[in-house]
Amino acid sequence: MVILYQLERTWGIPNLSHFCCKTETYLRMADIKYAVKATLPLFAPKGKVPYIEDGDLKLADSRFIVRHLKTQYKDLDEDLTPAESALSLAMQRLLEEHLFWATMYSRWQYTDANWQVNKKAIFSVLPPVIRDVAAIYYRRRIQRQILGHGTGRHNAEEVFELGMQDIDALSACLGGKKYFLGDKPTSLDASAFGFLINTFGCPIESPLKEHGLTKDNLRNYIERIKLQYYSDLGAA
């Protein structure tokens, strides 16, 4: 059985980590048996979650995890045409390499109120003696990453303007379809759900979230997937 290591579940969503949520959603969409163990990034390979154990294999990074799940269990993308596969890759890059950083900016840098919500959700599991030290260390580390990516070199209005363009593109791509590429879920949907629910469905406030909530098709998409694949989430 696959063991998925990820952050503690909180906020009433599958996971506050976009990539953990993506990975667990793929497991559920593909109907792969798994168990969850909560951990923090400082205890993880490559210093980040999620990671999995599958027999003797220990594997980090959601992209490599999904590739392994496709090869060893079920490939949700097996029926895609080359053009659909290319679109899937491009949209996942938009989600994971661009929209992600706007949401990280909103959590770790935008307002102190957002930071306090984020800090409590992630670090409250640690003993008080190291909680604040760990939080300060990781906040500075992630702010450096946001700066290095380029997002942190913009002001807030510019950051969210770029993120809104991503939301608009996702809404246009989904249109009136049940899933991004038709009537069946694919790896793009696992990624899109993980990132969209971490933009619209968490208690982190920003103009990006406000804009996203105006997109009825994306809000309905999130709710459909949550109801279908996370019926156990009500008490989370």
What is the full per-residue pLDDT of the chain (236 aa) written as tens digits?
Answer: 999 999 999 999 999 999 999 999 999 999 999 999 999 887 788 888 999 999 999 999 999 999 999 999 999 999 999 999 999 999 999 999 999 999 999 999 999 999 999 999 999 989 988 999 999 999 999 999 999 999 999 999 999 999 999 999 999 999 999 999 999 999 999 999 999 999 999 999 999 999 999 999 999 999 999 999 999 986 44
Q: Pinpoint the alpha helices (H) of 9-57.
A: 18-29
For residues 3 and 227, is the Cβ–Cβ distance under 8 A? no
C-alpha span between 197 and 84 (Å, rounded):
23
C-alpha span between 192 and 126 (Å, rounded):
30
Q: Count the neighbouring beta carbons within 10 Å of the beta carbon of residue 72.
A: 13
φ/ψ bin of 150: left (φ > 0), alpha (ψ from -120 to 50), beta (otherwise): left
Q: What is the pLDDT of residue 98?
A: 98
Q: What is the pLDDT of residue 234?
A: 62
Domains and CATH numbers, the chain: 2-72 (3.40.30.10), 82-235 (1.20.1050.10)
State the first-to-last Cα distance of the chain, in angstroms, to the nearest integer: 23
> Which class for 173: exposed (0-12), middle (13-18), buried (19 or more C-beta within 10 A)?
middle
Instruction: Output the pTM of the full model.
Output: 0.96
C-alpha span between 229 and 224 (Å, rounded):
8
CA 80 to chain centre: 23
What is the signed CA dihedral for 164, 153, 141, 102, rounded to 10 degrees? 0
Query: Residue 4: which of 134, 186, 44 has the closest Cα?
Result: 44
> Which class for 131: exposed (0-12), middle (13-18), buried (19 or more C-beta within 10 A)?
middle
